[in-house]
Chains A and B, each alone.
Chain A
Amino acid sequence: MSETPLLSMRGIGKSFLGVPVLHGVDLTIEQGEVHALVGENGAGKSTLMKILAGVHSADAGTVELNTGESGGRMVSFTHPLQAQHAGVASVFQEFNLLPELSVAENVHLGREPRRRGLIDRRAMAERTAEVLADLGVEDLAPTAKVGSLSVAHQQITEIAKAVSQGADLICMDEPTAALADAEVELLYRLVRRLKERGVSVLYVSHRLKEIFDLCDRITVLKDGRLVQCADTADITPDDLVTAMVGRRIEAVFPERLEGTAAGEVRLEVRGGGNAWVDGIDLDVRAGEIVGLAGLQGSGRTEIAEAVFGIAPFTRGTVKVDGKPIRITRPRKAIGAGIALVTEDRKAQGLALRQSVRANARMVLDANARVHSRKRLNRIPGLLSSLDLVARGEDQEVRYLSGGNQQKVVVAKWLAAEPGVIVLDEPTRGIDVGAKHKLYSVIRELAAEGLAVLLIASELIEVIGLADRIVVLHDGRIAGELPGGATEQDVMAYATGRRAEESRPA
């Protein structure tokens, strides 16, 4: 290992719209090192990686890069191309590939080898084959069309692209998130091969097994701050989980309301599965709040979408209030008394250029099965009970704050008097006051006998509100915990550190 590190980032700070997401974070990467960057959802891993990739620029701090003969120099990337030219390549979860082009064409995109001014396809294929052989990949033809490849092979194409650009540092964001187990082995070999060649790898992940299998050092982030940077040999998996979470519960959650009692099962799923989730058994009783926890991509939203008929279950059975039902479309879900507050409020929850009134009436107006004069008349009362702050019911919802927009979304669903309400990230991007209001509303709904399924990335929300917590890992239920469980316990299931033994495979 050389004296000076390949990369050293010092005191990196970054805010989005006044909300700080990184506070003076340091990161050093040695040459030929595989360095893990870990942390919970929202800890700032992706932001740090994007600063390094030139997607975002840092508000504070310095980046020193030590590549090639040029020696150490301060850099500040304002465009991804600058980062690439400096030898820093990034493989994001969303691949930067063109599915209609071949592997070789993608690897050389924008840098096509030419002979007498014309594209030299033979050289392109040969060079790609060389890079792939160098990486120890034998089963990928340079002429294969990228769109026809498996995710793992697309990822290899991305990595080959980075290598052929002469990258000294390759950053990988959750590289195994979409891979099957067998494919993970392939990635392991690739990362080790890169290391042998002296290429450094920044491995962003929260899967403990991979980190301990692959990485030399680990940097832990929490709430945008550096917690720890340690050699992998000096830290145990349990220590690491503690370092990742171990946060005091600063938010105050309202107590369960007087008279709330778990009643009959209102939503029952047995063996539910589709292309993204499998073997889902779920009971949500009247008056009960069930939390769905898991890492990003673990299948939380997919369950919500399956229950609501957006991407229905293709296996298993669903019962609502004891009656078997095949929910194949959102209309059927609404008819059965299910409501879904979607994760993406602006794209899926609201007609932004329409008024508060039009949005609040939308579910009732669109579905004859739930439409009634009485329910329409309740809407103004509903909106004021949610403490909606708007200039009036005629105001277009796009002018409302995030919190008030969310209240309109909640109102439009409550207007239909559902029996089951699924809330997917209901507090994302809203202010503290609105958050607390929503927490109280969730408690009130339970007290009224609704079955509540709550999805939240912020573990403390699930822990603080739910009566039971179902933890997902890779599209399956990893375990179930009582409300008030510790973050460590939830993370142990979510990261695949612990799996429920009793569950049949």
Chain B
Amino acid sequence: MTLLAPERDRAGRRPARRLSTTALIYLALVGVLALGGAAVALDGGNLFATANLVDMLTRTSLTGFLAIGMTFVILCRSLDLSVGYVAALSSLVAATTMDGQPGNIPVAIGLVLLVSGLIGAANGAFVTVLGVNPFIATLGTGLILKGYLDTQYKGPAGDVPAVFQQFGYTRIAFIPVSTVVMLVLAAAAVWFLRSTRTGHHMYAVGGDVDVARMSGIRTKGVLLAAHVLCAMFAGVAGLLLAARFGTGSAEAYTNLYELDAIAAVVLGGTLLLGGRGGVAGTVAGVAILAVLDTVFNVMQVDPFAKDVLRGAVIITAVALYARRQLDRTARRPRFTLEGRLR
């Protein structure tokens, strides 16, 4: 995505420079860091102390995995409310398959990706083949998984070998390995959306499914792929949960990770109505949420005020995006304000 719109209008003049949405979000991230840093400093602390940086970056990885996956489905004008449950289930699949044996790690990872991919395929099939509204379809899938988790696992299960727990705790300098993995996958996702047909077509499907179909795009396949990818990213999030807890945890779904992921995607400038946005913005959205949480944590803001502030930030951001959208009217104007022909 380019920082500045390079196109010229008919007369060859450059239009007023307008920052792209992605650039704007990174600016917002810098702003939040500066404001947060100042607030913490006034409080007598240092937001950029190593411990705080580690905290901040650690927070980005889990939400990051989920939000990257969520970006695919939202770009396609779909949604996935089941990712929190998929992540919880994945943590159990991983921990019970590994069962304390380092040799089982590759099998466990493969199995997690297979199971989560299948759940994503089921979600995709409900949405494309049965035509169920994605909100309802994935809510249903989530409830089914919840029922399974609640009845089959009364507590933590499985045992994650120490080697794999490194994924959850090791750091390179102050950067957690999990965050590095998240950023690498984010880069891969950016590349996927830009350079592969399926990725490129996600924008078309979300932008206008009829136009996409009329152009010969197999829209259902694209939507299905988005759901599979989304669920597989939730599977990776489940692997991280397992590494952090050392066991599989059915209770993980109670954290409502899916809502954080959606918030991060929308905060990152991806249109909830699809067709516009991208993973680069999502990463910034995730980072903004992480910075806020760390700031609240350091300043020991009480939980209620913390949630209120988080909500306010998300609403404000989306309201700002909505304003940027307003200039696109459905009917093409014929006259200028002064009554001259356009």
Partners in one complex: yes
Considering the chains assembled together, what is the distance between the CA atoms of A32 and B85 in angstroms? 61
Q: Is A180 an interface residue (CB 8 A)?
A: yes
Of chain A, the residue at the smallest CB distance from B274 is: A100
Q: Mark A76-98, 1 if CB is under 8 A from B, else 0.
A: 00001100100000000000111
Q: Is B211 an interface residue (CB 8 A)?
A: yes
Q: Which residues of B contact A99 (CB under 8 A)?
A: 207, 328
Q: Mark A275-300, 1 if CB is under 8 A from B, else 0.
A: 11111000000000000000000010
Q: Report yes or no: A145 in contact with B5, Cβ–Cβ below 8 A.
A: yes
B201, B207, B335, B337: the one within 8 Å of A276 (CB) = B335
Q: Is B12 an interface residue (CB 8 A)?
A: yes
Q: Which residues of B contact A84 (CB under 8 A)?
A: 216
Of chain A, the residue at the smallest CB distance from B217 is: A110
Q: How large is the interface on A (under 10, 10 to 19, 20 to 34, 35 or more residues)?
A: 35 or more
Interface of A is mostly: loop
Interface of B is mostly: loop
- Comparing A43-51, A66-74, A146-154, the segment that makes contact with chain B is A146-154
Q: Which residues of A contact B9 (CB under 8 A)?
A: 150
Q: Report yes or no: B333 in contact with A97, Cβ–Cβ below 8 A.
A: no
Q: Is A101 an interface residue (CB 8 A)?
A: yes
Q: Which residues of B contact A111 (CB under 8 A)?
A: 215-216
A110, A178, A299, A475: the one within 8 Å of B215 (CB) = A110
* Interface-centre pick from B6, B210, B335 (highest chain A CB count, 10 A): B335
Given that A100-B276, A141-B7 are known contacts, is A276 also in contact with B328, CB under 8 Å in the complex?
Answer: no
Q: Report yes or no: A151 in contact with B332, Cβ–Cβ below 8 A.
A: yes
B7, B210, B276: the one within 8 Å of A148 (CB) = B7
Given that A119-B195, A141-B8, A148-B7 are known contacts, is A273 also in contact with B335, CB under 8 Å in the complex?
Answer: yes
Q: Report yes or no: B7 in contact with A109, Cβ–Cβ below 8 A.
A: no
A98, A114, A118, A314: the one within 8 Å of B211 (CB) = A98
Q: Is B339 an interface residue (CB 8 A)?
A: yes
Considering the chains assembled together, what is the distance between the CA atoms of A98 and B275 in angstroms? 9
Q: Report yes or no: A101 in contact with B331, Cβ–Cβ below 8 A.
A: no
Q: Which residues of B contact A110 (CB under 8 A)?
A: 201, 204, 212, 215-217
Q: Report yes or no: B12 in contact with A139, Cβ–Cβ below 8 A.
A: yes
Of chain B, the residue at the smallest CB distance from A183 is: B10
Q: Report yes or no: B200 in contact with A119, Cβ–Cβ below 8 A.
A: yes
Q: Mark B316-342, 1 if CB is under 8 A from A, else 0.
A: 000000000000110111111111011
Q: Is A260 an interface residue (CB 8 A)?
A: no
Of chain A, the residue at the smallest CB distance from B206 is: A100
CB of A409 to closest CB in B, whole Å:
23
Q: Report yes or no: B6 in contact with A143, Cβ–Cβ below 8 A.
A: yes
Considering the chains assembled together, what is the distance between the CA atoms of A119 and B251 in angstroms? 42
Given that A101-B207, A151-B332 are known contacts, is A109 also in contact with B212, CB under 8 Å in the complex?
Answer: yes
Q: Report yes or no: B334 in contact with A475, Cβ–Cβ below 8 A.
A: yes
Of chain B, the residue at the smallest CB distance from A114 is: B197
Q: Which residues of A contact B300 (CB under 8 A)?
A: none
CB of B228 to closest CB in A, whole Å:
19
Q: Which residues of A contact B276 (CB under 8 A)?
A: 100
Of chain A, the residue at the smallest CB distance from B199 is: A119
B10, B216, B335: the one within 8 Å of A275 (CB) = B335
How many contacts between A and B, using CB within 8 angstroms? 104
Q: Mark A310-325, 1 if CB is under 8 A from B, else 0.
A: 0000110000000000
Q: Is A181 an interface residue (CB 8 A)?
A: yes
Q: Report yes or no: A96 in contact with B335, Cβ–Cβ below 8 A.
A: no
Q: Which residues of B contact A153 (CB under 8 A)?
A: 10
CB of B214 to closest CB in A, whole Å:
5
Given that A97-B211, A100-B275, A110-B217 are known contacts, is A276 also in contact with B331, CB under 8 Å in the complex?
Answer: yes
Q: Report yes or no: B196 in contact with A315, Cβ–Cβ below 8 A.
A: no
Q: Report yes or no: B275 in contact with A150, Cβ–Cβ below 8 A.
A: no
Interface size on B, residues (CB 8 A): 40
Q: Report yes or no: B6 in contact with A141, Cβ–Cβ below 8 A.
A: yes
Q: Which residues of B contact A147 (CB under 8 A)?
A: 328
Given that A139-B12, A180-B341, A278-B335 are known contacts, is A101 also in contact with B204, CB under 8 Å in the complex?
Answer: yes
Q: Which residues of B contact A118 (CB under 8 A)?
A: 195-196
Q: Mark A149-187, 1 if CB is under 8 A from B, else 0.
A: 111110000000000000000000000001011000000
A109, A150, A277, A475: the one within 8 Å of B204 (CB) = A109
Residues of A106-134 at the interface with B, using a CB-CB cut-off of 8 Å, are: 109-112, 114, 117-119
Q: Which residues of A contact B194 (CB under 8 A)?
A: 119
Given that A81-B214, A109-B212, A153-B10 are known contacts, is A273 also in contact with B196, CB under 8 Å in the complex?
Answer: no
CB of A457 to closest CB in B, whole Å:
18
Q: Mark A419-436, 1 if CB is under 8 A from B, else 0.
A: 000000000000000000
Q: Report yes or no: A178 in contact with B6, Cβ–Cβ below 8 A.
A: no
Considering the chains assembled together, what is the distance between the CA atoms of A314 and B337 in angstroms? 8
Q: Report yes or no: B335 in contact with A148, Cβ–Cβ below 8 A.
A: no
Considering the chains assembled together, what is the distance between the CA atoms of A152 and B9 in angstroms? 12
Considering the chains assembled together, what is the distance between the CA atoms of A101 and B278 in angstroms? 13
Considering the chains assembled together, what is the distance between the CA atoms of A474 and B334 in angstroms? 8
A sample of 17 more A-B contacts (CB under 8 A), given A97-B211, A178-B332, A275-B329, is A84-B216, A101-B203, A109-B204, A110-B204, A111-B215, A112-B197, A112-B200, A118-B196, A139-B8, A147-B328, A150-B10, A273-B339, A275-B333, A275-B334, A276-B335, A279-B339, A315-B339
Tell me the A residues contacting B by CB distance below 8 Å: 80-81, 84, 96-101, 105, 109-112, 114, 117-119, 139, 141, 143-145, 147-153, 178, 180-181, 273-279, 299, 314-315, 474-475
Q: List 13 A-B contacts (CB under 8 A).
A: A80-B214, A84-B216, A96-B210, A110-B216, A110-B217, A139-B8, A145-B5, A180-B342, A275-B331, A275-B334, A276-B335, A278-B335, A314-B337
